[in-house]
């Protein structure tokens, strides 16, 4: 049986914050983090609203926008959840899809380095959400250590991927401050990263549960 990508949805004709051109987001199911203000908890709910695609099926599904990809320099964004949980599929997809398509990865990098290594040469744009570089803040917010994140960021630097990487740094109410965020940016600049996307979570109450929405203002 061939590889299959587990997804909660495919979103077409995206033009913001996904790298170059018009893109299609393929949102993977599953995430190793349990963030307090998770934007999309359906990514790890079981069984969840999940569809599965083989490589060939997914190429056919997104190829409806091939003209847009080729005309604008866009392509496919693998996001989630955490798409690196399905790194083998992403690598196989890159090998079979049209070479003109750009492949972007939206990731927390909160996975073992072996998973990043499988796709590091397949990705044109890396969009990394690091939450906060302070280990205590990260642990309190995500429930996990950021050791894998740090090691994977170092690997991107070693592989000369910094010019292909944008790091998203949220201001998270109740967990970090603007000073903390500036400390994270300083840390990342010292590592060698150049491009940052600061934003804030606007926390809302929905059905008795806290949730967050992104605000780039």
* pLDDT tens digit sequence for 174-217: 999 999 999 999 999 999 999 999 988 876 544 444 455 566 55
Per-residue confidence (pLDDT) for residue 39, from 0 to 100: 74
Q: Which pTM was predicted? A: 0.91
Q: Give the strand order in the sheet containing 125-129.
A: 51-54, 4-14, 23-28, 75-79, 102-107, 125-129, 165-171, 195-206, 209-215
Find how far residue 217's CA is from the centre of its chain. Answer: 21
Per-residue confidence (pLDDT) for residue 64, from 0 to 100: 97
pLDDT at 97 over 70: yes
Radius of gyration, alpha carbons of the chain:
17
Find how far residue 211's CA is from the centre of its chain. Answer: 19
Domain ranges of the chain: 4-215
Domain 4-215: CATH architecture, name and number where available: Alpha-Beta Barrel (3.20)
């Amino acid at each position: 049986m061939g590889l299959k990508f587990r997804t909660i949805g495919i979103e077409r004709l995206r033009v913001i914050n996904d790298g170059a051109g018009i893109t299609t987001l393929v949102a993977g199911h599953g995430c190793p983090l349990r963030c307090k203000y998770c934007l999309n908890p359906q990514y790890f709910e079981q069984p969840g609203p999940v569809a599965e695609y083989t490589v060939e099926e997914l190429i056919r599904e997104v190829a409806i926008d091939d003209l847009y990809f080729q005309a604008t320099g866009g392509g496919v964004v693998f996001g989630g959840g955490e798409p690196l949980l399905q790194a083998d599929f992403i690598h196989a997809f890159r090998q079979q899809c049209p070479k003109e398509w750009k492949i972007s990865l939206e990731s927390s990098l909160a996975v073992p380095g072996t998973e990043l290594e499988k796709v590091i040469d397949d990705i044109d744009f890396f969009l990394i959400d690091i939450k906060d570089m302070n280990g205590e803040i990260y642990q309190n917010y995500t429930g996990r250590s950021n050791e894998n994140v740090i090691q994977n960021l170092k690997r991107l630097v070693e592989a000369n991927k910094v010019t292909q990487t944008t790091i998203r740094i949220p201001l998270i109410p109740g967990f970090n401050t603007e000073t903390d965020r500036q400390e994270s940016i300083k840390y990342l600049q010292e590592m060698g990263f150049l491009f940052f996307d600061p934003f804030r979570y606007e926390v809302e109450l929905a059905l008795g549960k806290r949730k967050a929405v992104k605000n780039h203002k």
